[in-house]
Amino acid sequence: MSKQFDVVVIGAGPAGYVAAIRAAQLGFSSACVEAESYADPKGEVRLGGTCLNVGCIPSKALLRSSELLEEANHGFVMHGISVDNVKMDVGTMVRRKDNIVTQLTSGIKGLFKKNKVTTLSGHGKFAGREDDLWLLDVGGETVKAKYVIVATGSKPRHLPGIEVDNKVVCDNVGALSFDSVPKRLGVIGAGVIGLELGSVWKRLGSEVTILEAVPEFLATADAAVAKEAWKVFTQKQGLSINLGVKIGKVTVGKKGVTVEYETADESKKLECDRLIVSVGRIPCTDNLGAENVGLKLDDRGRIDVNDHCQTNLPNVWAVGDVVRGPMLAHKGMEEGVMVAECIAGQAGHVNYDVIPSVMYTHPEIAWVGKTEQQLKNEGVEYRVGQIPFLANGRALGQGDTTGFIKMLACAKTDRVLGVHVIGASASELISEAVVAMEFGASSEDIARICHAHPTLSEVMHEAALAVDKRPLHF
Ligand code: FAD
Ligand code: NAI
């Protein structure tokens, strides 16, 4: 007899595993289908999706290792600490990263056990409908479900004519597991992956050249942040970033990779030992059986959903990277919770206006809400408060004073409309702005909150005071 569940989630990435756990917490029999082993040594299915296996978590582990090397080589000296003969063992660094991944992916298995979520190994796809149940094919076996949540995520977009072998020409999968530091590293795409992983390998000693199609740097960030980031990355850190280029032929030979490209006025060649292709990601809907059941996709190949992640089919929902919106783990997880709660008849909800974006470069970059350019384009009147970390005692003590916090508030209501941080711990600092905006706070509300001293969060406090032109320490 075929297995039957109230809720079956297809895909065990952050959107899917969270949806499965929340559904189980709400009293549904819940199962999660996962196809990928992510090169598990035993060939077993690995939970956690892109995020845990080849995304957020491994990249942050490598970022940390490379930051420590940078500190040892260049940061300790200002504290009077000298270390000779600093060495880096790439194998140990990669093994540490792999161990963290294993710890976390096994942790999801534990969470599934605790919450009584059944793992179904194999590729999942729609096979049809019988009465009010969906029939799914999971690795050749039929599974029945009252509700289906599609959380199949995304995969790297590749460029035509550039074959990715994940040894010499890599997407995120290969770029997280180099066995040695390439002398010359080429990167196509100055987006989040290009800048995060480009920074890792630059700190480890590679000469890094990034080729970006768009003429503007970090076009989605606030322009002031993008300008500061450009200065730090190119002038202080020595990343070579070329904007407005058109990629031509890419050839791989015995001596490495040659990337032919055009700038506005000349044809050039980049010779490198390894190449990372990081030009965005595409939704995973291949072989999902969408056509078997009439599941509607949008014009960009994503599953078409409404604000509550409902598809065009009854009792079928879709969450995470496979649907519209930013391709971010926390956005997917929120959607997973929302959908499980909606299925249970509760008022599940995601506030898409306050989803934070973070780049884990050094300095980190984080923002939530509108940029100054967006407010101008929308004709919204606003006030700005901007405070540099240089004016903060804790930042000075830490020896990390790059960057600033910029707060944008409505000129009429004072409601906070956007907060932009470039600097140390921006990823943590942004949470205060997210909470404030979620609850519709004004800059005056933040100005009246007591912030611990000495902390970097005082810069947020001062930025709020600066909106009203009354900063106390700047
Ligand atoms: P995924 O994590 O892609 O999971 C989908 C799962 O479904 C996969 O395990 C896949 O094998 C499985 N699957 C697909 N089709 C089927 C099928 N038919 N049957 C069975 N299983 C199937 N986001 C952040 O928020 N912060 C970060 O710091 C961050 N860093 C990143 C760094 C890198 C290098 C990359 C590549 C991404 C990063 N992201 C980050 C993005 C983040 O990883 C994704 O937004 C997130 O993983 C999306 O979650 P998801 O559950 O929608 O999909
Ligand atoms: P991205 O969208 O951030 O950046 C891709 C870059 O490639 C863009 O700047 C784009 O203009 C450029 N590009 C596209 N086609 C090109 C071409 N033909 N030639 C040269 N440049 C080209 O995508 P990325 O870096 O691949 O990351 C994918 C997604 O993964 C991100 O959008 C994000 O959602 C997620 N991610 C999130 C992270 C975080 O939250 N810290 C970290 C890494 C990834």
- Tell which residue, 287, 320, 326, has the closest CA to residue 303: 320
**Residues 189, 219 within the same domain:** yes
Count of structural domains within the chain: 3
Question: Does 250 sit in the ligand 2 pocket, CB within 6 Å?
Answer: no
Q: Is residue 29 part of a domain?
A: yes
**Residues 186, 51 within the same domain:** no
Phi-psi region of 30 (alpha: psi -120 to 50; beta: other; left: phi over 0): beta
Q: Is residue 66 part of a domain?
A: yes
Question: Does 328 sit in the ligand 2 pocket, CB within 6 Å?
Answer: yes
**Residues 440, 402 within the same domain:** yes
| 105-111, long-range: CB < 8 A, 24+ apart | 105/38, 105/46, 105/47, 105/48, 105/52, 105/53, 108/12, 108/17, 108/47, 108/48, 108/52, 109/47, 111/17, 111/21
Atom of ligand 2 nearest to the CA of 246: 19
Q: Whose CA is nearest to atom 26 of ligand 2?
A: 280
The pLDDT value recorded for residue 37 is 87
Q: Whose CA is nearest to atom 4 of ligand 2?
A: 191
**Residues 221, 332 within the same domain:** no
Domain that holds residue 217: 169-279
Pair of tokens at residue 328: 């971010």
CATH number of the domain where residue 69 is located: 3.50.50.60
Distance 92 CA to ligand 2 centre (A): 28
Distance 49 CA to ligand 1 centre (A): 5
**Residues 125, 185 within the same domain:** no
- Tell which residue, 371, 361, 387, 369, has the closest CA to residue 456: 387
What distance in Å separates the CA atoms of residue 363 and residue 404, rounded to the nearest whole number?
10
> Of 279, 310, 332, which marks where a domain is finished?
279
Q: Which of 308, 330, 349, 453 is catalytic?
A: 453
Q: Is residue 454 part of a domain?
A: yes
Question: Does 191 sit in the ligand 2 pocket, CB within 6 Å?
Answer: yes
**Residues 81, 214 within the same domain:** no
Q: Is residue 344 part of a domain?
A: yes
What distance in Å separates the CA atoms of residue 443 and residue 287, rounded to the nearest whole number?
49
Q: Whose CA is nearest to atom 7 of ligand 1?
A: 11
The pLDDT value recorded for residue 41 is 85
Name the E strands within 109-237: 117-121, 124-130, 133-138, 141-150, 154-156, 169-170, 184-188, 207-211
- Between the CA atoms of 335, 337, 343 and 347, what dihedral angle is there, to the nearest 10 degrees? -90
Q: Is 180 exposed, middle or buried (0-12, 13-18, 19+ CB in 10 A)?
A: exposed
pLDDT in tens, 85-100: 999 999 999 999 999 9
What distance in Å separates the CA atoms of residue 41 and residue 431, rounded to the nearest whole number?
37
Q: Is residue 87 part of a domain?
A: yes
Q: Is 462 exposed, middle or buried (0-12, 13-18, 19+ CB in 10 A)?
A: buried
Distance 460 CA to ligand 2 centre (A): 28
Q: Does residue 157 contact residue 279 with C-beta atoms inside 8 Å?
A: yes
Q: Outline where 344-414 has alpha helix (H).
A: 372-377, 393-398
Question: Does 159 sit in the ligand 2 pocket, CB within 6 Å?
Answer: yes
The pLDDT value recorded for residue 39 is 85
Question: Does 358 sit in the ligand 2 pocket, CB within 6 Å?
Answer: yes
**Residues 74, 194 within the same domain:** no
Mean pLDDT by 10 residues, the chain (474 residues): 95 98 98 93 93 98 98 96 95 97 97 98 97 97 98 97 96 95 98 98 97 97 98 97 97 96 96 98 97 96 98 98 98 98 97 98 98 98 98 97 98 98 98 98 98 98 98 98
The pLDDT value recorded for residue 390 is 98
Q: Does residue 65 contact residue 100 with C-beta atoms inside 8 Å?
A: no
Q: Does residue 296 contact residue 128 with C-beta atoms inside 8 Å?
A: no
pLDDT in tens, 3-58: 999 999 999 999 999 999 999 999 999 999 999 989 888 889 999 999 999 999 99
CATH number of the domain where residue 395 is located: 3.30.390.30
- Tell which residue, 410, 418, 406, 329, has the closest CA to residue 368: 418
Residues with Cβ within 8 Å of residue 113, at least 6 apart in sequence: none
Q: Whose CA is nearest to atom 53 of ligand 1?
A: 153
Distance 327 CA to ligand 1 centre (A): 8
The pLDDT value recorded for residue 1 is 78
**Residues 8, 149 within the same domain:** yes
**Residues 14, 31 within the same domain:** yes
> For this structure, is 158 an active site residue?
no
The pLDDT value recorded for residue 411 is 98
Q: Whose CA is nearest to atom 35 of ligand 1?
A: 55
The pLDDT value recorded for residue 459 is 98
**Residues 78, 47 within the same domain:** yes
**Residues 342, 420 within the same domain:** no
Whether omega before 58 lies within 30 degrees of 0, making that bond cis, reads no
> Of 232, 253, 279, which marks where a domain is finished?
279
Residues with Cβ within 8 Å of residue 258, at least 6 apart in sequence: 249, 250, 251, 269, 270, 271
Q: Is residue 164 part of a domain?
A: no
Q: Is residue 320 part of a domain?
A: yes
**Residues 145, 289 within the same domain:** yes
Q: Is residue 474 part of a domain?
A: no
> Of 238, 263, 279, which marks where a domain is finished?
279
Question: Does 277 sit in the ligand 2 pocket, CB within 6 Å?
Answer: no
